[in-house]
Amino acid sequence: MLSADYIIGLTDGEGSFTTFIYPPSTKRGSRYHRVEFRYYIHLREDELPLLREVKNFFGCGNIYFQKDRRPNHRNGYRFEISSKQKISEVVIPFFKKYPLHGTGRKNDFRIFCKIFKITKDKKHLKEKDAEEIKKLKDKMHK
């Protein structure tokens, strides 16, 4: 069984908190922006058993195969949680209780939480909120 400290270390080294913001889609009849959230850990192909343990630890999420076409790189797997409900109920509380150590990931998580808070109670994301999210997102992954 993995420990919280192990998950923190693994996330500091191989994890990511990211958001995607999509403009309104007239094809889908939407007038509002849409935001997706993802927490993931990406590991080499031979580390699939470890990602299965991570999935069991969190009790949610999915594992996806990732083909890597870059020279000198190997295929891998990505454990990912993208459900807003699970981000709210599992991911954010976990990383607030067990803080990250690395400055970069810690900063990304802080911004991730700010963006989540902006979108949490708003069913329709207006242009003003979308611009604020874009500015915050630009500060991630530095």
- Of the candidates 22, 38, 19, which has an alpha carbon nearest to the alpha carbon of residue 30? 22
Q: Is residue 142 part of a domain?
A: no
Q: Is residue 91 part of a domain?
A: yes
The range of the structural domain enclosing residue 124 comes to 4-137
> What radius of gyration, in Å, describes the C-alpha atoms of the chain?
16
CATH number of the domain at 11, please. Answer: 3.10.28.10
At residue 42, the pLDDT reads 95
At residue 123, the pLDDT reads 62
CB atoms closer than 10 angstroms to residue 94: 16
At residue 107, the pLDDT reads 97
Rounded CA-CA distance 90/39 in Å is 11
**Mutual orientation of helices 103-120 and 127-137 as an angle, nearest 10°?**
170
Q: pTM for this one? A: 0.91
Q: Is residue 66 part of a domain?
A: yes
Q: Is residue 44 part of a domain?
A: yes
DSSP 102: S
Q: Is residue 31 part of a domain?
A: yes
Q: Is residue 118 part of a domain?
A: yes
One digit per residue, the tens of pLDDT, for the chain of length 142 reads 899 999 999 999 999 999 999 888 777 677 788 899 999 999 999 999 999 999 999 999 999 998 888 777 788 999 999 999 999 999 999 999 999 999 999 999 999 999 999 998 776 677 888 899 999 999 999 8
**Total tally of structural domains belonging to the chain:** 1
Q: Is residue 64 part of a domain?
A: yes
Q: Identify the bridge partners of residue 38 per DSSP, sorted by sequence position.
A: 18
Q: Is residue 48 part of a domain?
A: yes
